[in-house]
Structure 1
């Protein structure tokens, strides 16, 4: 389905990582090779075969006196067993939940920790959209969910580790802290950490998407799980289309959230009118959140093109300015497109009728209402 290795010789300090064994073997190796300190911040951590595999590696690291800090989202990892939590703490792992769904005298649904980042010894980093669960690892009979991450080595890891430390220990300075610098990875390649946390004034990922789409000259390829962009993104795509930029969207043919997929289908007619090429991935669940623009600019991370990521969650992406890396990733995405179903005005007309149109509209309406409620809840709480 997808390659297991980077075939164009991109240096080892900048590597594209695929969901499946590629990601989890690297994660396990990073944990086992750590010497001093590990930070893991994750939305979803399941107590399944893959989760237990990573827990075992974390326990072994703690037994070597490595300081291990795990921060899980209170909603995404709500089902994490209390007994497992107790065992991890007894083994020396520092673990807590971000914004627990239930706490003393309160129920909190809003602002979530949606980023997926691991930093070890302030030297090596994994950032992407991949959670820790069997469905992202796959099996002999079932393909992993389609998703991506980036492995980075070098000086970029130090400020990121400080950022993770600040948020784990609830230090106030993390609230407005941004990693503004571009870091050189190799000759003619620069990377930057982008964050989105609208309540704290961090809109770097959303703004980066809009700026790059507006300035696109030739081609835009976006992989969009849960694709429900706000009006600013829609306008940017429309402008790019008018400028004769080729736009390809790789969307979910199968989804773990059928309501959201139906809501996305409601947008198909409008997107096709803008001459945007639509492709549905049906080989597995699509969970990736990436883009390649003009064969030079790439972003990979946890940020979905919808209002929940824009206004409700803590997100983290890597921005990569490298023609070599972007070309490699672009070639991979072209292979993914070749395995997708192309949605055209003709095929859309055949597969939709009054009933499906009504269902899609209703799904879109309900999803937008849910987004408004969820994003308004933390906004109101923050301002009170």
Structure 2
């Protein structure tokens, strides 16, 4: 990591779409110069349509709007949806769009999984929330539990610079916005990213550093938990030296194989005193953690091979006692009231037939970074998209 912690930031936790969407849409509606937006998913639903309208209005009043989406995660967005934005002046870019093969998406690995918004270089948002209605409680039982933060202060300059670098091939001309460096709050913060260049392991290293420094408690709430061997070992070692280590993982997964893989690692952790809770209210999509009473992180990175070895990811590290306390209170309530505790006795049942799978899963985590190197790393570039269709006709037909 070649960035430094910066003081003087205000960081606010936003839980689920109910808190996130009103704040981020309000910030976009108030933009005067520039909106830089990166996301994995935009769906053509009530949330995606609200995003589209707020970006169109911003572009029409002269705000520079640069929108980058993943070519896999947003592959199904209608051309009319996109065209209505580009006609208004929104610059729409897709990361590694690939043609389908027999109707199937082929760009499975190394996705743009970051979720970042920077408004006028003064206010930023970062977390795990996409632009889709399944992040709202009224979506039903499969509504996702997720987190983001709103941040102001000098660290916004780091997020602004990161978005500029990602969009550099399509930013014509480059951004002229100078990020505000005024102190706005008590938090120290550091932006960390994972890419397929100079920052391949920055997010994993930030977790390892935090875990190794822990003295009293570690709490991790992560949707897709199948980390590398080093991270597993450090969690176990922390529990052995008396740190209270609590993991909140998926109990009602959106993809059943996710829980099956995670459970291959439970025995290894439970034997040394790690506490594991499965969140059963709805699918857990969060990627947050805290250490002791000051350090925390919120971002897009899961603790699985895709996030740690392939995808473009972004997290914010935070040192602030009040923020840590708020996150801890929330996660502790989640663990005690909305989760099922996983015990070693429960996981030992049927161990004889699961033992080969556990052995294979454990050693896969040990060697996966080397295996990941066998896969080609395609160039990290965006392609501007300008559909040549009648946007109004297409949108009308799509809404009937």
Q: Is the 8 A contact 1:297 1:319 kept in 2?
A: yes
Q: Is the 8 A contact 1:146 1:284 kept in 2?
A: yes
1:103-142 maps to which residues of 2 (within 5 A)? 108-139=107-138, 141-142=140-141
Match 1:72 to one of 58, 69, 73: 69
What is the aligned partner in structure 1 of residue 145 from structure 2?
146
- C-alpha RMSD of the superposition: 3.1
Partner SS state of residue 264, structure 1: helix
From the superposition, tell whether residues 51 and 63 of structure 1 become closer, same or farther in structure 2 (CA, over 3 Å): same
2:2 matched to 1:30?
Answer: no
Per-residue Cα deviation, 1:29-63 (whole angstroms, up to 9, x for no partner): 11111111101100111111111111111111111
Partner SS state of residue 312, structure 2: strand
Partner SS state of residue 76, structure 1: coil
Residue 184 of structure 1: how far off its partner (Å): 5.9
Residue 294 of structure 1: how far off its partner (Å): 0.6
Residue 317 of structure 1: how far off its partner (Å): 0.5
Q: Is the 8 A contact 1:223 1:249 kept in 2?
A: yes
Match 2:327 to one of 326, 329, 353: 329
Residue 215 of structure 1: how far off its partner (Å): 1.5
Partner SS state of residue 279, structure 1: strand
What is the aligned partner in structure 1 of residue 177 from structure 2?
none
What is the aligned partner in structure 1 of residue 96 from structure 2?
99
Q: Is the 8 A contact 2:229 2:362 kept in 1?
A: no
- TM-score scaled by structure 1? 0.85
What is the aligned partner in structure 1 of residue 389 from structure 2?
none
Residue 376 of structure 1: how far off its partner (Å): 3.5
- Cα distance in structure 1, aligned partners of 2:158 and 2:317: 16
Q: Which moved more, 1:272-281 or 1:109-118?
A: 109-118
Per-residue Cα deviation, 1:253-274 (whole angstroms, up to 9, x for no partner): 0112211211111111111112
Q: Is the 8 A contact 1:260 1:363 kept in 2?
A: no
What is the aligned partner in structure 1 of residue 343 from structure 2?
344
Residue 332 of structure 1: how far off its partner (Å): 1.1
What is the aligned partner in structure 1 of residue 308 from structure 2?
310
- Cα distance in structure 2, aligned partners of 1:92 and 1:28: 18
What is the aligned partner in structure 1 of residue 236 from structure 2?
238
Partner SS state of residue 284, structure 1: coil
- Cα distance in structure 1, aligned partners of 2:283 and 2:64: 35
- Cα distance in structure 2, aligned partners of 1:368 and 1:320: 29
1:1-384 maps to which residues of 2 (within 5 A)? 13-102=10-99, 108-139=107-138, 141-142=140-141, 144-170=143-169, 186-187=185-186, 189-338=187-336, 339-349=338-348, 352=350, 376-379=374-377
- Cα distance in structure 1, aligned partners of 2:67 and 2:33: 15
Residue 330 of structure 1: how far off its partner (Å): 0.6
What is the aligned partner in structure 1 of residue 178 from structure 2?
none
- Cα distance in structure 1, aligned partners of 2:183 and 2:257: 42
- Cα distance in structure 2, aligned partners of 1:229 and 1:183: 37
From the superposition, tell whether residues 72 and 209 of structure 1 become closer, same or farther in structure 2 (CA, over 3 Å): same
Highest RCO, 1 vs 2 (Cα 8 Å, sep ≥ 6): 2
Q: Which moved more, 1:359-368 or 1:94-103?
A: 359-368
- Cα distance in structure 1, aligned partners of 2:268 and 2:192: 29
Q: Is the 8 A contact 1:221 1:293 kept in 2?
A: yes
- Cα distance in structure 2, aligned partners of 1:242 and 1:198: 34
